[in-house]
Amino acid sequence: MNKVIRIVFINIVILTVIFAVLNFIIDKNTEKIFNLLKNSNNVFNYMSDAALSLNKEITEKYIGKTLEISEENCKKFCGEQRFIFGENYKNNPIIILGCSYTYGHGIKKEETFPYLLSELTKRPVYSFSLCGSDGLSSLARMKSYNEEQPIKNADYIIYLYMLDHINRYMDASVVYNNYNIIFSSSENQFIKKITNIPLIKLILSHFQINKIITSGTYTDNYKKYFTNSENYLKKVILSIKREISNEYPNAKIIIIVYNEKVADLWGILKTKFDSEMLYSHIWEELKDEPGLTIVKTKDITGFLFDNDYKIKEDIAPCHPNAKAWEVFTPKFAKEYIK
């Protein structure tokens, strides 16, 4: 009996050590692991090479010329520090979450949505937007900032959704880093602690992504994939809303859906997916959520933003130009910011 107990004990110790080592490796090498998983856990793996190929003819027609994605060009389009606008205004602040659209990729600081909104409303505006970002990552930056220097009495939290955010939310690293926010918010503390263990969280993240993707290929299961993606996006939006409400219970939360004509730059399949998601039924469903306002740019402007409202010379040819914000912001401020 003692021998059996010793064997069991030794096996428990060995398994515990292996488990601890795996968690350590995952915690210290998450990006490398995500890169390995990316081929199986990302929308792009479910498109053919032809669907993914960049359409050179449309690109050159659309933006004038193709720019090399270099460090110099990235600095040109996204290199300036843009965080606080109108900090001397005395009215309660506005917080903006988003990506390069609200950062103002490729346009001057004075032409951006946060700057114009601050000038029109006479409020300080804090923008946690960065190029390549999304609602979840800019939310994390807001929470981190508030831990050190809280932004008090924010009346409005605005998140701008653009066409590629759904693809970013399905990236393995995004699901992993935000697993508890998206999937475990209503669970008890024990479950939350368990899902914070790197190995368990990695397995669960992989499982959640594959639930969306389903079996087969992206092309063969497009309808099911799209429906699963809609449900997931709604879940992400509600998780962002919930986290904001925890920080600012009395703030008005506004989601802006940037309606635009999506050029066929990355193949027909991705264009179809991205553009259809902009007009998904979930946006109408989200309008019924208490404390949440959904604003579609087309409802404000009366038209979709097309080539005339895009910057012409761009390393990622889709971004709003100064004209787009000049048209949209005054109408938005007048109707939604009191």
Q: What percent of the chain has pLDDT over 70?
A: 73
Backbone CA torsion sign across 87, 93, 95, 101? negative
Q: How far is CA 273 from CA 47, 98, 166, 224, in A?
A: 11, 20, 10, 12
39-336: which CATH number, 3.40.50.11540, 3.40.50.1110, 3.40.50.720, 3.30.230.70?
Answer: 3.40.50.1110
Question: If you average pLDDT over residues 117-135, what whole number do you get?
Answer: 95
DSSP 110: G
Question: If you average pLDDT over residues 240-259, what whole number do you get?
Answer: 96
Contact 254, 156 (CB under 8 A): yes
Q: Which residues contact 213 (CB under 8 A, 6 or more apart)?
A: 41, 46, 225, 228
Contact 120, 112 (CB under 8 A): no
Question: If you average pLDDT over residues 118-138, what whole number do you get?
Answer: 95
**Average pLDDT for the chain:** 81
Is the pLDDT higher at 183 or at 335?
335
Exposure string of 161-185, with b = 16+ CB inside 10 Å and e = fewer, is bbbbbbbbbbbbbbbbbbbbbbbbe
- Residue 293 backbone phi and psi in degrees, to 5: -115, 130
pLDDT of residue 187: 60
pLDDT in tens, 32-53: 666 665 544 444 444 443 333 3
What does 279-306 look like in DSSP terms, one character per residue? T-THHHHHTTSTTEEEEEHHHHHSS-B-
Token duo for residue 116: 């114009």
pLDDT at 167 over 80: yes
pLDDT of residue 65: 42
- The helix/strand/coil state of 201 is helix
All structural domains of the chain with their residue ranges: 1-29, 39-336
Contact 148, 142 (CB under 8 A): no
Q: How far apart are CA 156 and CA 137, in angstroms?
A: 18
Token duo for residue 114: 């946060």
- pTM value is 0.83
Region of 296 on the Ramachandran plot (φ > 0 left; ψ -120 to 50 alpha; else beta): beta
Amino acid at 30: T
pLDDT of residue 248: 96
pLDDT of residue 266: 64
Contact 255, 295 (CB under 8 A): yes
